[in-house]
Structure 1
Amino acid sequence: MRAMIWTDSDCFSGTERHCLELSQGLEAIGVSTMVGSRKGSPLVTRAEHAGLRCVCLDAASAPFGAVREVARLLKMKKVDIIHAHNGVTTFLACLAAGRAGRGKVVATQHFIRPARQGRRGLARVFSEQVHRWVRSRVGHWIAISGAVASAMEARGDAAFGDIRIVMNGVAAPLEGEPASSEARQWIGFSPGVPLVLCPARLEPEKGHDVLLEALAVLRRETVDFQAVFMGGGSLHQTLERRIAVLGLGECVRLVGYQSRPDVWMRASDMVVLPSAEEPFGLVLPEAMSRGLPVVAAAAGGPLEIVTPGSGVLFRPGDAADLASRLRELIGSAPLRNRLGSGAAARWESHFNLERMAGEVASVYVEAGVRG
């Protein structure tokens, strides 16, 4: 069985991390895997560094060239299945399979609201027509959570029987990751004060404003904590100003994109994902794999990830409720330890990489690809 994992992106966020780890997981269980993305993209760079085969395809600026190359790989039987991870690559994969006269297309939906829903007028009409054509040619659809699958069914993106829910899995932490105390020294934070980490892009949908309001409540109550917002994005300056207005400058830092997120997780006491509508929330199992308790809004993917024994949920958009949950965790090391142990156990049983890769390979077989 030979698969191409294809997405078109010049960033490295949740979808790209998923593609990289899925490729590694498939290779580990005997599925020959090739990664397709833009030349010089972070995904291709990291995939090559990991020893994965790559093919450079620019779906945005050279779509016809990408179709020709993928069709060539299919005809030469170097690839049996194209596993596409965004709308553009799914469309082009269907064209390539048609041109080659062989090969199957499987598509993963990573979002509750895909980009085409934001289009208007003729662009929206054209997008919907293209999607109907694509729907008739995709072998199976994968949704990364039940929330995504429900949204797909409600939109009529695919018949429910054609959707397979495969929750994301993440690899085990590397053995060389630093211990918590060492990581604290590396990043320059006080060792005795609980550290709250929010690893999310600084964009409106991620809910940083709600988290800041909750932290301001704790600050007024003189709760002792440190907080880090890790990630880049368009709201950096806006959030800096809000931190100053709320008087949080001494206890909240924006540290931007970090090439070693594992160090920041190891240094932290808990991870918070305040998004009100998160399709999955990959940072949650990443934190859980390191034995960290997680805090997330009770909506979307996190509802399927976080259990009472592995973390806590708060009402979406409710800063007071979030403050209450954080107050409990910050004030009780035994509670953090208990939930952290439960988080690690839940990652091991539900969100490990081997489980995800095996379920994806099963979808390939259902779509008609044999090993």
Structure 2
Amino acid sequence: MSKIKVLQLHPDYNIRKMDISDLGEQLFKALPAERFETVTAFLSGKPGQGQPESIAHRSVYFGFSAAELKGLRIKALWLLYKFLKEERFDVVICNRYKPVNMMLTLARFLKITKCIAIVHGFGDYDRRYRKKQLARNLTENWVFVGVSAAVREYLIALRAGLTDKNTSYITNAIDLAAARDLMLDKASARAALGLSPDAVLIGAMGRLVPLKAHDCLINAFSGLAHEFPRSQLAILGEGRERERLEQLIAELGLEGRVQLVGFKEDALQYLKAFDVWTMPSLREGLGLALLEGMCAGLPVIASSVPAMLPLVQGAEGIAVTPGSVEELTAALRKYLEMTDEERKQAGSKVLDYVLNNHGIDEFREKYLQLISTGF
């Protein structure tokens, strides 16, 4: 019996050295080698010296430029079509909008048993022409998978051909045992990040972009900084908002109290440095950074967006209205008023919740079933 041939298509090279929360890699770990032949392909980018490759049997790097992936994408579509026609995949899994969009165009001309679109957030199909293209090109061999129930509801509400029958969700997960083994203890993590060993440390992680609402978090912290002199705020991540956030920190007189730590490879290992974990995003598909902070056993504050609210409630954390500096301030105050031991107890409840509800085994099993059905 021949193996089921599976392609996973990504927009950019993004393989992590530690695949604990790299869900593309975790998905392939669900597929037994004796039953599946796996290929990972990236529309742009490739690993540099010392950077990892996918665990797939084979990796393909198309190397398309940004210009080639804009507009009609004629060259990129033609080369991708020739590759797909020659390889004859049984299953094609598309991560994020651009690969899904290209495959919706090409799949009509190819014999692919199953196309799976993984949708990581909201808004990809808000534009009218995108809805029309989706409705026009959607065929019976497509399945759309949201990373949360909220994303699934968003997709169905588009009324572009996505229904209960062809749209599901598989909640993001994390390899909890591996994550816990990777994490440094508090003192070592703080030393590695250059953070105070004695502070009550509030943490956040994510790209420095407006959607992540780090400015709201900094403003909320500014209202409490003098009242709680041991408190500090540190944000892991990099992005186009860095300069604006640095200006905000200076304007509020918070130099030395708020640190923009920057991007850190395998940042998960440093999360035990913190005493409180925050995720104030205005919108999220799920927010792996929230799960990673929960895995570190930290009490959590997160926006009450549909994708994160069940996690925060399940972990007995604090949910706040997106963009509300006032509610963020109140939530921070609640945790800062606690003793160190009380914060540890709150973090233990968070860890118990994530261990019981977001392990990697169920994630892998659901993808194995989805990909195997029909073969």
- Please, what TM-score do these two structures have when normalized by structure 1? 0.86
Deviation at 1:364, TM superposition (A): 2.1
CA distance in 1, matches of 2:26, 2:34: 13
1:1-371 correspondence runs (5 A): 1-9=4-12, 17-26=22-31, 32-38=37-43, 40-41=45-46, 48=53, 50=55, 53-58=58-63, 60=69, 62-74=76-88, 79-94=89-104, 96-114=106-124, 116-117=125-126, 124-125=128-129, 127-157=130-160, 158-172=162-176, 173=179, 175-307=181-313, 309-332=315-338, 333-366=340-373, 368=374, 370=375
CA distance in 2, matches of 1:223, 1:31: 57
Deviation at 1:221, TM superposition (A): 2.2
Equivalent residues of 2:44, 2:62 under 8 A apart: yes
Residue type matched to 2:39 in 1? M
Deviation at 1:105, TM superposition (A): 0.4
Equivalent residues of 1:20, 1:43 under 8 A apart: no
Residue type matched to 1:109 in 2? V
CA distance in 1, matches of 2:49, 2:153: 32
Deviation at 1:112, TM superposition (A): 1.3
CA distance in 1, matches of 2:48, 2:6: 16
Deviation at 1:40, TM superposition (A): 3.6
Instruction: Assess, with a 3 A threshold, how the Cα gap between structure 1 residues 34 and 269 changes in structure 2: closer, same or farther.
Output: farther
Equivalent residues of 2:47, 2:53 under 8 A apart: no
Residue type matched to 1:149 in 2? R
Structure 1 counterpart SS, 2:87: helix
Percent identical residues: 22
Instruction: Assess, with a 3 A threshold, how the Cα gap between structure 1 residues 3 and 252 changes in structure 2: closer, same or farther.
Output: same
CA distance in 2, matches of 1:258, 1:359: 31
CA distance in 2, matches of 1:203, 1:153: 28
RMSD: 2.9
Q: Deviations over 1:60-79 (max 9, x none)?
A: 262211122123222xxxx4
Residue type matched to 1:6 in 2? L
CA distance in 2, matches of 1:155, 1:29: 39
Instruction: Assess, with a 3 A threshold, how the Cα gap between structure 1 residues 37 and 358 changes in structure 2: closer, same or farther.
Output: same
Deviation at 1:335, TM superposition (A): 3.1
- Greater fraction of residues in helix: 1
Residue type matched to 1:57 in 2? F
- For these two proteins, the number of residue pairs brought into alignment is 356
Q: Deviations over 1:187-230 (max 9, x none)?
A: 22222211111101111111112101110111142442121111
Name stretches of at least 5 consecutive residues in structure 1 with no aligned partner: 119-123
Deviation at 1:255, TM superposition (A): 1.7
